[in-house]
Amino acid sequence: MILDLEPIFNTEGFGQDFSYSLDLSEEQLDSVRPFTSPVNVAGRAENQTGIVELHAAAECTLSLFCDRCAKPITPTFRIPIDHTLVTSINDETNDALLLVEDLRFDLDPLVREDLFLSLPAKFLCRPDCKGLCPNCGQDLNDGPCACKRAVDPRLAALAALLEEEDE
């Protein structure tokens, strides 16, 4: 969505609300296309003493799999999007300000970047997900498996001594 900032920059105290849907269905996340529905973006751009404050939120529901047990999950996220837009900048190393040169601003790349940077590194079906047994593949959330725990080869001699003691 292209936001026309000219009336906002030219009138102190003036603001404009916006709301739109962003299609990210072709975007991949860990080789999966999780955006099965559009991302809803709503917010306001407002002139505050010659700069424009952009406050918005992006809401989305993803369709993917738990990173530990591989169950299908559909987590919902509400990502805040807060930025300061300016028409000129003195310090180009200041990452807090976004330069708008032609008073038209494309929100889509900004929303996409903020959204991807805010998503967690791991997606879990629940915070205490135990995952799958690495040997038999049993879902450990349903209960323990019958596999015997592997002994670290560096401690095999000690394990043998413990087994002798039990006999």
Q: How far apart are the first and last CA of the chain?
A: 74
Residue 30 backbone zone (phi > 0: left; psi -120 to 50: alpha; other: beta): left
Can you tell me the distance from the alpha carbon of 142 to that of 126, in angstroms, rounded to the nearest whole number?
13
35-68 confidence digits (pLDDT tens): 999 999 999 999 988 789 999 999 999 999 999 9
Q: Whole-model pTM?
A: 0.77
All residue ranges of the chain with pLDDT < 70 are 166-167
Give the distance, in angstroms, between the CA of residue 41 and the centroid of all CA atoms in the same chain: 15
| 61 phi/psi in degrees, rounded to 5 | -120, 130
